[in-house]
Amino acid sequence: MAVSTRPHWLVLGAGAIGGLWALRLAAAGHPVTLLGRQAAPTRRLVLEDGNHSLSHDFPCLDHRRAQLPAAERLLVATKAGATADALAPLLPALPATLPLVLLQNGMGQEAALLAARPDLVLLPAITTAGVFCRDADTRVLAGAGQTRIGALDAAQQPLADTIAREWQAAGLATSAVTDIAAQRWQKLAVNCAINPLTVRFRCRNGALLDNPEALALMEAVCAEVAAVMQAEGLAASGDALFASAQAVAAATAANTSSMLADAEAGRATEIDFLNGHVLRCAARHGIACPVNAALVTEIAARAH
Ligand code: KPL
């Protein structure tokens, strides 16, 4: 059997996005191992993409017990709030040469990782790919979207460039960017302005645009996030963020936001890594963010 020379990916969190990445990378000839709680030695995942469907049998390892196989990249695609716990058993023995690609909503999850292992190479990525789980093992692609990857440390940018090329070759439309921090903040702002409001008003994304109270809150969230971004040294305007949030709500009008889906399923939400991250940064700069603070309190109080 031919041995693949393509980099071996470990995928932590084979949910909607992690599952899509695992399937695309495996179909492009990368060895891919799923890390998770599953005890079975293999797991078959299926991707439905319009009229096409593909499946792959992945080797699985319980990341809490297993020794990691030799690999070149680790994709972290868990919920932001699950990152620290999921990686805790692996952190002490992770080779410093194994880059961690964080393909997750929200920000702030990297702080705990770097506190434990300042030597880790972290490459954040953001995506607008639309994918959902039809069942435990079936991923359905609703929109290919666009993915961007960059490096927290500019010295690692060439690696981000290489991974962008690998993902592109695997059919995942990706570009490497040198301003991933700014782009993450832009996405964070949009998620802060949409996700908690869909929970408050129990509505799809598009319905926020027909609700004057929701629009006023969306605008206020964006103004606060822009002030924090400026304090972080990034160019930002409340009006521009508000326009982006409205455009995304319109483009995803029929979507149930990820936060509403989590809230309705009784799962923990990502509020701590969205508006909660804004509040942590705001506190460092002495900026008041009462609208974001009220949303964090409200959504956190609804959880469980
Ligand atoms: O990213 C999203 C989410 O639901 O988390 C948006 C863009 C709001 C689409 O639903």
Identity (one letter) of the amino acid at 68? L
pTM of the full predicted structure?
0.94
Identity (one letter) of the amino acid at 117? R
- Residue 52 CA: distances (Å) to CA of 11, 27, 46, 103, 134: 23, 13, 10, 25, 15
CB distance 223 to 192 below 8 Å: no
**Ligand 1 atom index nearest CA of 256:** 10
Distance CA 171, CA 56 (A): 16
Active site residue 79: no
Q: How much is the pLDDT for 65? A: 77
Q: How much is the pLDDT for 4? A: 72
Ligand 1 midpoint to CA 130 (Å)? 9
Identity (one letter) of the amino acid at 5? T
For ligand 1, pick from 194, 208, 209, 274 the residue to mutate: most ligand atoms within 8 Å of CB.
194
Give one DSSP letter per residue of 108-157, joined into a string: SHHHHHHHH-TT--EEEEEE--EEEEEETTEEEEEE---EEE--SSGGGH
Give me the residues of the chain with pLDDT under 50, please: none
Q: How much is the pLDDT for 93? A: 87
Q: How much is the pLDDT for 3? A: 65
Q: How much is the pLDDT for 35? A: 95
Ligand 1 surroundings by CB, under 6 angstroms: 105, 191, 194-195, 205, 248, 252, 255, 257-258
Q: How much is the pLDDT for 2? A: 59
For ligand 1, pick from 131, 190, 222, 252 the residue to mutate: most ligand atoms within 8 Å of CB.
252
Q: How much is the pLDDT for 1? A: 52
